[in-house]
Amino acid sequence: MSKIRRRDVLTGAAALAACGGADVPRLIPATQVPQIAPRQVPRYFRNPTYQQPPIAPIHLSAAVQLQPGASSGVPAQALMNPMGQDMELLEVKFEISGASDLAVNERGVPFGGSIAADMTLGSYKVTMGSVPVWNFGRAENLGAETKVDSSQSTSYNAYSWRLPRPLFVPAGAVLAPTFNHLGITSGTLNVRVGYTARTVVKTPRVAYVPWVASYNSKVFNPITTAASDQSQPQQLVNDTGQVFHLQRFTGRTMFYAPSGRLTTDQPYALAARALTMRLVDSYGRPIVRTYTPFGSVFQQLTKSWELEEVGAELDPGGYYRVFLKKAAMTMGGDYETAQAQAFVSMVGWREEKV
């Protein structure tokens, strides 16, 4: 740093002036120092996004272990935004695996029908009771949903639910799931739920809260006998008090094999031929008029019927009804005592004031 003092500079300047050099610079009072105008912000930086605090992605997850028939929540703190900020949930992910070696007929089983979730956000219900986790989203990649480990002793399952609209979760609030082990498999299962979210800085006036309701048919026992079943009005119902906007229907089937045989969700002939269904709404409008193969209603490539572009609505208290008919199936091997079950859900959203 220079040790030349201001006084020395002035002294030198005065000496220079005395010999006919430069003028002595005048001191400018601090109050008269001209203010420099703030630099103009280029137009392309005027996007409000750049002037807000940063919007950050965030991932939260929590796990629980469940025995058959058990029900439990997960640590809520783990699903809360640790930054104490508002956030928007974009996607919910479920991972399920066997906690220990499973029986032979339960290895490689898709556990999406075995574990059901009951979700609430504060006083808002997100699900109508317990909904099997494979009935929330559309199947994005069927081949990757169920994987068997190298020792062939258990299986790992992954299901994804991309929310119909981002769900606003205020700071300190949590979308709390309670998981139920429906007892379809006899093994203890590990369940992990993950939330993909982002922090937000503005509180919206309206929150788009998802709504999922499901109907699990009776177990067709045995599969070799013709039978029928139907959903009740209180199952696929809009119980939100708001207008429900339908995004999709999902439909899955489960095939319970006798001991020593593999239980699976892939009895192709069941969904494509033996199991047929009708679907009506609470006004009696035929959504699926004639008994149609289950696999044609919920196209088997994604196990869903996407309806976002239809714009269908259901009034408060409105409902859909499913009528199932299962023809007798002639089974081979030891499968005469096998059983089958169908899972149908409606997924959408409603508006709630924040």
Partner 1 sequence: MRPASKAFETPSPVLLSSGCSVASGSIATPNMTELAYPFRKPVLIDEIRFDLYRDDPGGSESKFVNLGALVYVKLQLGQHYLMRDFVPIWLLGTLMTLEEEQGVDAYAATPVLVSHYRWHLPEPLYVEAGQTLVPVFSSVPNAFASTAAINAQVSYAGRVVPPQTKRPSKIVVPYAAPFVTTFGNTYQQSNEYNLFNPFSAPIKVQRLTGRVLFYDDFALSLGAAPGYTEPPATLTAGATLLIDDSWGGKVVNNYTGVGDVFDALRAAWTVDTVMPAKGQYNVRVWNIPAHTQVHIGMIGSREEAL
Contact residues: partner 1, CB under 8 A = 141-143, 246, 255, 257, 266-270, 272-273, 279, 281, 283, 285-290, 292-293, 295-297, 299-302, 305, 307, 309-313, 315-318, 329-333, 335, 338
CB of 234 to partner 1, least distance (A): 15
In the chain the first and final C-alpha atoms are separated, in Å, by 59
Beta carbon of residue 211, minimum distance to partner 1 (angstroms, whole number): 16
The nearer residue to partner 1, 133 or 297, going by C-beta atoms, is 297
User: Amino acid letter at 267?
Assistant: P
Which of 145, 169, 172 lies closest to 159 in space, CA to CA? Answer: 145
Report how far residue 148's alpha carbon sits from residue 142's, in angstroms, rounded to the nearest whole number: 14
Residue type, 142: L
Minimum distance, C-beta of residue 65 to partner 1, in the bound complex (Å)? 31
Least distance in angstroms from the C-beta of 332 to partner 1: 4
| CB 220, min distance to partner 1, A | 14
Residue 14 DSSP SS3: helix
CB of 217 vs partner 1, minimal distance in Å: 19
What is the nearest approach in angstroms of partner 1 to the Cβ of residue 115? Answer: 23
Nearer to partner 1, 49 or 290 (CB): 290
Nearest residue to 252 via CA among 351, 137, 164, 350 = 137
Cβ neighbours of residue 354 closer than 8 Å, sequence gap 6 or more: 168, 170, 203, 204, 205, 206, 207
Q: Which is nearer to partner 1, 168 or 255 (CB)?
A: 255
Closer to partner 1 by Cβ: residue 116 or 314: 314
Toward partner 1, which CB reaches closer, 195 or 244? Answer: 244
Residue with tokens 């996007």: 47
Of residues 159 and 255, the one with the C-beta less far from partner 1 = 255
Q: Under a CB-based contact definition with an 8 Å cutoff, are residues 341 and 256 in contact? A: yes
Alpha helices (runs of H) in 19-75, residue ranges in sequence order: 48-51
C-alpha distance from residue 217 to each of 21, 293, 321 (Å): 104, 15, 12
Q: Which of 105, 112, 107, 106 is nearest to 191 (CA)?
A: 112
For residues 281 and 352, which CB has a smaller minimum distance to partner 1 in the complex? Answer: 281
